[in-house]
Structure 1
Amino acid sequence: MNPKNGDEVIEEKLRKKEYLLDVSRRKRIKKSEDYDVFDEVFNKSTLMTVYSMLNKGFIKDFDGTIAAGKESKIFYARGPHNEELAVKIYLVTNREFRKSMIRYINGDPRFSDIPKKSQELINLWAKKEFNNLQSLKEAGLRVPIPHRLEENVLVMEFIGRNGVRANLLKETNLDFKEYENFYQKTLDFMVKAVKRANLVHGDLGEYNIMVFNDELVFFDVSQAVSIEHPMAGQLFKRDFENINRFFSRKGVKTIELKDFIESIGGLDTDVRQWLLF
């Protein structure tokens, strides 16, 4: 019998659920939720990417699931200086979600080619979120700080304290004045995202905004598109309607879309027309 080569040995270990515990013993990855996480998230490529980050010292402790969705799962981790981190792992998804991703990529001038292979498309989607976070941060907007991206694994700032994530805007119970203030800050985010970062969030709402240390933190920006994207105006309008719907339920007096866009100074005429589309 021929001895197995190194790749064959690694692949065999990765097929076994015990491998997660093996990595846990050696690299302090703690068992997350249950073994179903392994099956859904940690395919060979992803597990080796996480293992690479651990070996390089970008993350040291890797703990349980913070959030889970069809697109990704987010895990709690610690960095080399014991700082709290969130590790977002993008999943190879079904055909319908693949079509959805392509809609947000196709027409964005920042991306010329759409990969044919699912894993390459997921990696591009992860890169898109990393770039969007960087652009928004550089524009002075409060988003989770992106630290590192490798393949489909994004390491970013954890929004919360001692492993407990901050409340979503949806989960808050504030007084009227606070909601009124947060409404204006959310509109301000939309304006600055367009004017400074040339981006439209594309899925803005009470589920994608956190309240931490009395300020709003805007997250989940993988779908955010350039203002030159064909759907930019449509997405901007949808974001605006979502925000108005939430805050109006809290008793806040909201404004009309046309009045809001006309109040934004310094916009290029074409951009103003796109947003009004």
Structure 2
Amino acid sequence: MPIDADIIKSLHKYEIRILHALERMMKRYRWVPEDDLRAAVKLSPPELKYRLGNLIHRDLVRSDSVPYKGYALVFAGYDALALSDLAGKKTISALGCMVGVGKESEIYEALGFGIVILKLHKVGQRSFQTLKTNREYMPGEGHCPWIFASAKSAEREYEALKALNGKVSVPVPIDINRHVIVMSQVPGANLIRCVLEDPDTIYRQILDEVQKAYAAGFIHGDLSEYNIMTDGETVWLIDWPQWIPPTHQNADAVLRHDLENVITYFAKKYQTNYDLEEAVAFVTKP
């Protein structure tokens, strides 16, 4: 469901206090006990009940009564905290429309210093266990709800964008808060949505960018026609949370998979015949 900016703007200071408390306490509890929450926010029982009712009605908080009465922050509540903080810092001044949605993210336009892009990392319930198993940056032990897994994913991508900015054609990172990255708007469209007049030139540009990223210490890890953008003349590589360094034990296999995805896509759509071994040799050249 798209974010309702009016709901975020209308939150009472007590409701923001409750959201912050739930965020802190969910590092210890899956469901924060009502008594512990009341002690943390220091509100009277009637006031707490009223404010929690508002938050539940707006789908920012969820409650359960088994095995005890407890409350949990959900993604919409986490969105509210992140966007409120970004607005308070003047990083963004207005939220625009949702412009994209993926398996683990939502993309919005917003106003900052001009039009910017917000990427909200959202690791879903079904993908969480796979993510913990397959992505080494995720904690292997302890309680890590999906909202905090999403913040880890955002931190990982922001790290890559900062390191690659100015070296590789990627969106410019502007700010990060929790699971939300603010970045520059990239012109053009995802490769899957384009019909290229000169596929050879675009393919060579993609290899150039992959090579520059490799030289900077980054293998994308999930490269495909869905996370390459182009305006027909320039390409940008997006979506970096799964990157690994070239020194990783699986680096060769991951790089080959990235390049094979690109080569297969061009072959199917444009009947090209690019060679995987040549591409690997080009990217990894000293």
Question: Would you say same fold, with TM above 0.5?
Answer: yes
- 1:33-57 alpha-carbon deviations (Å, 9 max, x no partner): xxxxxx98412x3312211111221
Pair 1:55-2:88 in alignment: yes
Residues 10, 51 of structure 1: CA spacing in aligned structure 2 closer, same or farther, 3 A cutoff? farther
| Paired residues of 1:129 and 1:222 also in contact (CA < 8 A) | yes
In 2, are the aligned partners of 1:128 and 1:222 still within 8 Å (CA)?
A: yes
Does residue 141 (structure 1) correspond to residue 182 (structure 2)? The answer is: no
Count residues with an aligned counterpart.
Answer: 229
The amino acid that maps onto 1:253 is N
Residue 163 of structure 1 is matched in structure 2 by none
- Contact (CA 8 Å) 1:101, 1:223: kept in 2 or not? no
Identity across matched positions, percent: 20
Q: Structure 2 stretches of 5 or more lacking a match?
A: 1-42, 61-72
SS for the counterpart of 2:57 is coil
Q: TM-score, normalised by structure 2?
A: 0.71
In the TM superposition, what is the alpha-carbon distance from 1:7 to its structure 2 partner?
A: 7.1
**Shift of the alpha carbon at 1:11?**
4.2
Q: Is residue 187 from structure 1 mapped to residue 207 from structure 2 by the alignment?
A: yes
The 3 A distance-change label for structure 1 pair 18 and 208 is closer
Q: CA RMSD in A?
A: 2.8
Distance 2:59 2:275 in 1: 56
1:159-186 deviation digits (Å, cap 9, x = unpaired): 23xxxxx3211122222xx210111111
Instruction: Please show how residues 164-243 of structure 1 align to structure 2 within 5 Å.
Output: 166-175=188-197, 178-196=198-216, 198-212=217-231, 214-243=233-262
Structure with more relative contact order (C-alpha pairs < 8 Å, separation 6 or more): 1
Aligned position for 2:272:
252
| Shift in alpha-carbon separation, 1:87–1:208, aligned structure 2, 3 A | same
CA 1:133–1:14: 2 relative to 1, 3 Å: same
- In structure 2, the CA distance between the partners of 1:212 and 1:238, relative to structure 1 (3 Å rule), is same
* Bigger radius of gyration: 2
Residue 153 of structure 1: CA displacement?
1.2
Structure 2 CA distance for partners of 1:52 and 1:100, relative to 1, 3 Å: same
Inter-CA distance 236–266: structure 2 relative to 1 (3 Å threshold): closer
SS in 1 for 2:174: strand
Which residue number in structure 2 is paired with residue 157 of structure 1? 184
Alignment-mate amino acid for residue 184 of structure 2: E
User: For 1:246 and 1:195, how far apart are their aligned partners in 2?
Assistant: 24
Q: Distance in 2 between matches of 1:261 and 1:15?
A: 52
TM-score, normalised with respect to structure 1: 0.73
